[in-house]
A and B are shown apart, each in its own frame.
Chain A
């Protein structure tokens, strides 16, 4: 059972999530943050509302685990938590390239077995 920092259990997560997504600005912020990181001030410039209002929206998204916020100098950078799925895909891509390389080398080692360096009449190892 996953319990968040405030001790609320999973079943309340849906409420928090739906509440967070029930607002057009907040949905837009999530979509923007999905594409790339944005500072809170950058987000604030995009909407006809105060910095404080945007900051409040970000806080609600943060509570719903939809975004994370970190400090970068004087800026606060907002990142979508959805990145974790991208990480999963990236992991698989990396894994694919590991196996492609392995199989390339596998072929090299195998072909050396087919054509042994020593003459066919040579002593067995």
Chain B
């Protein structure tokens, strides 16, 4: 396993995965650029994926579907926001109904993948963010368990001082 670090930030709803592979950058890139390779790792093992459209260029679209063990199909898409070959991929990743209409009930993530050459290895950094950050921030602001407990003990102190 070559995941070297995972960092989660629940206030910013951001996650960074740092990985290192003992392979040249071109091979690591191939796993994104070749739809037959991409479909072998993107979905869970029990939900085999089939990539339908694959235009990994700035402004391009990727679409795929996964089939559950019960035979139910889940359709997903990427909006390819920017691509710099062998260096960077920026994409929006979400779900859709069977007709390809975006499913807004499920979270859309914004993911940036950067590739860097190390001596004899490749570092691949994946940074994902949930764009509905304002909504999440608001929830966190209003409700964080510790925050609320702290606020309540402050209220207690104020009331006790009355």
Contacts and interface: CB of A to CB of B under 8 A. Distances in A.
Interface of A: 18, 21-22, 24, 27, 30-31, 34, 65, 81-82, 84-86, 88-89, 91-93, 95-96, 98-110, 113-114
Nearest to B122: A110
Interface of A is mostly: helix
B10 A107 contact: no
A102 B143 contact: no
B21 interface: yes
A92 B1 contact: no
> Max chain A CB contacts within 10 Å: which of B136, B139, B148?
B148
Contacts of B2: 103, 107
B139 A18 contact: no
14 contacts: A27-B152, A30-B152, A31-B149, A34-B148, A82-B144, A85-B144, A96-B6, A100-B3, A102-B42, A103-B2, A103-B3, A106-B41, A110-B31, A113-B37
Interface residues of B, number: 41
A53 B10 CA distance: 37
Interface in B2-19: 2-3, 6, 8, 10, 13, 15, 17, 19
Interface stretch (B22-30, B57-65, B95-103): B22-30
A91 B41 CA distance: 21
Contacts of B19: 103, 106
A76 B135 CA distance: 28
Nearest to B41: A105
Contacts of A89: 10
Contact of B152 (A21, A91, A98): A21
A30 B148 contact: yes
A23 to B, nearest CB: 10
B155 A22 contact: yes
B128 interface: yes
Interface string B103-128: 00001010000000000000000101
